[in-house]
Amino acid sequence: MPIAVAVWSFTLKPGEPQSLVPPHDVVITNIALGDELEDQNSRTTVKLSYLSPVNVDGDDEEEDEDSAGGGTIENTVLCSLTPGKIEQATVNITLEGEEEYLLQAVGKNTIFLTGNYVDQSPDNVPYNDESEPEDEDDFDLRDVSSDVEIDPKEMDAIENDEDDEDDSHRFEEVSDEPAPKAANSKRPRDSDMSAADEKPSKAQEKKAKKQKVASGEAVATGEIPAKAEAVPDKKEKKAKKEQKKSTARELPNGLKIADEKVGEGPQAKNGQTLSMRYIGKLQNGRVFDSNTKGKPFTFTLGKGEVIKGWDQGLMGMQAGGERLLVIPPALAYGKRKMGDIPPNSTLTFEVKLLSIK
């Protein structure tokens, strides 16, 4: 819900329309006559004129661009006040910041408008206000690995990890269980120790100094590994890169989808309840919202409870799967400003599907 942050007021003189461009979002809560009246008997009507958006949903970006600066002027009446009968009216009208409005008092008396500047930043951007807000600890990103900070502008960022053999998943829980003890902690027999205490030959020491394991760490002197782990050759790397490329796809509406990890079990479909982890970022890489621990975010797929990019981009996921979504403005918030998200923003979400119900 909007949070009031400061008092706002506006004096409306009778006559010509007066322009109003609030610096921030404003909610008008009360309209009243002043203590001094020019006419004790006549009625004064308060009118509001505003420019309607061309395409509220932002489904057709080309049409929006062609119609930039267009739209139609809409007129409405907020209230009518008459001295001695109705001298004030309680309203709930929200005016968006940095937008121009025209207010006009049709009559002879001066009108006073009162309200509040408000902060309309949502608690959780991908879903509506009916969902329960997360605790502050749920948005702590200190547990998220540094590899989150990828470049969200280009899908090629998915393909540049060809040298990473095992990327730790940023959403997985860390186990606090102690490491198991050795199966047998007894002192070895003398006959067993004799073989272990034998010193390697000089040739063996020289070979051990030069030998390295696949990770690049030198083998300690006196230790001769049975066999160094094989390092993938160029063909294997290329095959893995091509396989990773094949998981990235772009839909005709501009939605880009890449599976970082394929889950198991049935695929998600409309009408099912999904339990999610996610990290949302702007094109400049700044994180504007996340859910990486604590209570997962749940919603019903295909019911319009989230942005269109989520309803379409999460179809077919399996439990345990991780996916990268690059969502164009038409499938996110379009021309609307949503909290810290500027208008016409392309959004990037790293998501993990925990369960399907």
Active site residue 349: yes
Q: Rounded to the nearest 10 degrees, how much is the dihedral formed by the CA atoms of 348, 299, 122, 71?
A: 70
Catalytic residue among 28, 31, 279, 307: 307
Task: Say which of 50, 171, 297, 349 is annotated catalytic.
Answer: 349
Of 264, 261, 300, 296, the closest CA to residue 277 belongs to 296
Which of the following is catalytic: 117, 278, 297, 299? Answer: 278
Is residue 155 classed as helix, strand or coil in its secondary structure? helix
Cβ partners under 8 Å of residue 163, min gap 6: 237
CA 152 vs. chain centroid, Å, equals: 12
**Cα dist from 291 to 126, 171, 259, 351, whole Å:** 11, 9, 19, 9
- Strand order, beta sheet including 73-81: 18-20, 101-106, 44-51, 73-81
Scan for tokens 């030998």, then name that residue: 211
How many Cβ atoms are within 10 Å of 190's Cβ, its own excluded? 8
Catalytic residue among 31, 171, 333, 356: 333
Residue 144 in tokens: 């998220």
Tokens of residue 89, six digits: 């009216």
Residue of 43, 52, 62, 46 whose CA lies nearest to 10: 46
Alpha-carbon distance of 337 to 24, in angstroms, equals 12
Check if 278 is active-site. yes
Q: Is 112 a catalytic residue?
A: no
| Token digits of residue 351 | 């998501």
Residue type, 299: F
Given the residues 289, 299, 311, 341, the one annotated as active site = 289
- Here the tokens at position 19 are 């322009």
Q: Respond yes or no: is residue 333 known to be catalytic.
A: yes
Residue closest to 48 by CA, chosen among 118, 1, 95, 117: 95
Instruction: List the catalytic residues.
Output: 278, 288-289, 307, 333, 349
